A and B are shown apart, each in its own frame.
Chain A
Amino acid sequence: MSAFELCKGCTRHVHAEQSLCPFCGATMSTARAAAPRWALALFAGSMLAATSCDKGTAKTDDGKVDAGQSDAAKPTPAKPDAAKPDPAKPDPAKPDPAKPDPAKPDPAKPDPAKPDPTSPPADGGDADAAADSGGTVEADGGAGGDSKTPDAGKVIEAKPDYKPKPKYGLARPKKKYGAPPKPGPGPEPF
């Protein structure tokens, strides 16, 4: 599953590898931009060098290569590409998700060439069919929908008028449907 960063400009979740928010155009300050291929090649080269002559690469106490010491592994500055929105278009300080902007490329925008939303896909590729047919229809997708990326949804900055509770280290909410949580310590003993 994708990892997301929270946009400071519009509080939308943005794919972590994107350097610009596709909704408001704000720069994602901690965007983990995809490293260019030349950087990956350089990194791979440095790793090879590390294994051959152990030069120029730090090792941790247990002898593993610490990639953080390699120049090639340093964060690559985010670079907008053609598939990302033009940062000059929207004003990050005034996000306006409602304003139509046909010139603004947007991966979230519906594709006009997309089939009728009320029509099921022609290939019928829906795991739900298993429930109706009694057969087993599953994709070979591995972990499934409940898998979590450890750093997914990392919060960069909250809205100024909202004080978020600490998210990390908390258990997944226990109550899913109807059942309220156990009350915390309060003035009235239960």
Chain B
Amino acid sequence: MARRSLPLAPPGPPAVRGRSLNPVARPADAVRPRYAVWEITLACDLACRHCGSRAGRARPDELNTAEALATVRQLAELGIEEVTIIGGEAYLREDWTEIAAALVAAGIDTSMTTGGRGITPERAQQAKDAGLSTVSVSIDGLEATHDKLRAVRGSYRQAFAALEHFKQVGMPISVNTQICAANLREVEPLFEQLRPLGIHSWQVQLTVAMGRAADNPELLLQPYQMLEVMPLVARLKRLAEGAGIVLWPGSNIGYFGPYESLLRDDSPDGFATSCGAGVDTLGLEANGDIKGCPSLPTTAYVGGNIRDHGLVDVWERADALRINRRRTTSGLWGYCADCYYADACKSGCSWTSHVLFGRRGNNPMCHHRALELLRDGLRERIVPQTPAEGEPFDHATFELVVEAWPPHLLARAQELARGADTWLDAPR
């Protein structure tokens, strides 16, 4: 039996209540999200060092069962087609299967993302019986690195055991992995561990400077390392495809570099479009706070609470959910303001850029940008400036340093830019 929480997680703050909405919806607000990620509890049995929501304890004011079931109805009314339930660990709510079954009964394709530590054969069967269409287990490197990142010894083996339990009950399984400074070299070896498991897909994304990750900046990749990351993801894509596994690069993997058409071959456009928060995506926190994307910082991006307003009303009339609906390039700044791809990209992932500088619109975690700076012999580094406050979905601030490439790394960087299969500090 998994522990209900770990003592190092602070109690979460109360929900954001009383936010007012605009009086009327505009034509642009008729857009509807297809996909929602719903944190049904912040309780967690892991203590991940990169956890953006600082999960551990349940929030003090999480929705009760009746409120959660009412939320299910409102999600269906809004037109949501798919929901992923997350936590913390979703299964640490006593009523998690009831919520999941209600989502399924409402015609919503429902999945779960989990660290897998507390997945027993019984819980796997419960997931199956509730009607979850698939599960994704988080694995962040080889055993030692994963256990260190997840702050629980044995969590790597438990994650693999969870996959096996789900497989045994006939659940389609997949894996998600954060790419960070601690595991950059282990992601390809990890694939060799995943290959025989029978997963149907693998999502990879960058660790973002939110929550505990902001407290551990040594885990964060530097912007110039996109020169290493993107060829890596391209290699993973080809490896996965060869094994019949779909590789899904997360929304913060990009943008518009030479691998874009390879990595976004699922998109009708052949490239990643700009942030979809409040356009095709919705996020819910366990206390009923509503955001355009589950990852966005609470303070700046909660549009309202489901205890105060109907979900449709918040979706249509909250400023925080309207941020992308009539968006132009006018809010871009720094390098992104004048970028060749500004009109299409609009600085990519809002979450990734906001948590670095306190506002979105300038995203240094970009392959195109790293390549163009390299043309001038330059690179960018992020340096911690002010620490995070210690609450769920909070962030620090960082200074962006533009500097000349160190002479001993420049040639290697240029090799990487040409697509070489190497690392910046690989031995000669």
Interface residues of A (CB under 8 A from B): 1-2, 4, 6, 10-13, 15, 22, 95-101, 106-111, 114-121, 125-128, 130-132, 134-136, 138-146, 148, 152-155, 158-159, 161-162, 164-165, 167-168, 170-184, 186, 188-190
Contact = CB atoms under 8 A, between A and B. Distances in A.
A176 B251 contact: yes
A106 B266 CA distance: 29
Interface string B9-24: 0000000000110100
Contact of B319 (A4, A136, A182): A136
Contacts of B415: 98
B357 to A, nearest CB: 7
A168 B364 CA distance: 31
Interface stretch (B30-38, B55-63, B184-192): B30-38
Given A12-B258, A131-B320, A177-B295, A117 B335 contact: yes
A127 B326 CA distance: 9
Nearest to A4: B271
Nearest to A130: B319
A180 B246 contact: yes
A127 B275 contact: no
Nearest to B360: A128
Nearest to B321: A131
Given A158-B261, A165-B266, A182-B172, 6 more contacts: A4-B271, A11-B258, A120-B333, A121-B337, A178-B136, A180-B203
Contact of A1 (B82, B343, B373, B400): B343
B84 interface: yes
A2 B28 contact: no
B270 A125 contact: no
Contacts of B372: 106, 108-110
11 contacts: A4-B270, A11-B260, A127-B330, A153-B267, A167-B265, A172-B268, A174-B34, A177-B37, A180-B246, A181-B248, A190-B172
Contacts of A10: 258
Candidate in A108, A115, A176 with the most chain B CB atoms within 10 angstroms: A176
A109 B410 CA distance: 18
Candidate in B20, B338, B374 with the most chain A CB atoms within 10 angstroms: B338
Given A98-B418, A127-B323, A145 B274 contact: yes
B200 A183 contact: yes
Interface of B: 19-20, 22, 28, 31, 34-35, 37, 81-82, 84, 86, 109, 111, 113, 133-134, 136, 170-172, 174, 176, 198, 200-201, 203, 238, 244, 246, 248, 250-251, 256-262, 265-271, 273-276, 279-281, 293-295, 300-301, 303, 319-320, 322-328, 330-331, 333-335, 337-341, 343-344, 346, 354, 357, 359-362, 364, 368, 371-377, 380, 399-400, 402, 413-418
B220 to A, nearest CB: 17
Contacts of A142: 326
A127 B327 contact: yes
Candidate in A98, A136, A180 with the most chain B CB atoms within 10 angstroms: A180
A108 B265 contact: no
Contacts of B340: 15, 22, 107-108
A12 B333 CA distance: 23
Contacts of A98: 371, 374-375, 413-418
A5 B201 CA distance: 29
Candidate in A15, A22, A111, A128 with the most chain B CB atoms within 10 angstroms: A128
Given A110-B373, A127-B330, A180-B248, A162 B82 contact: no
B300 A132 contact: yes
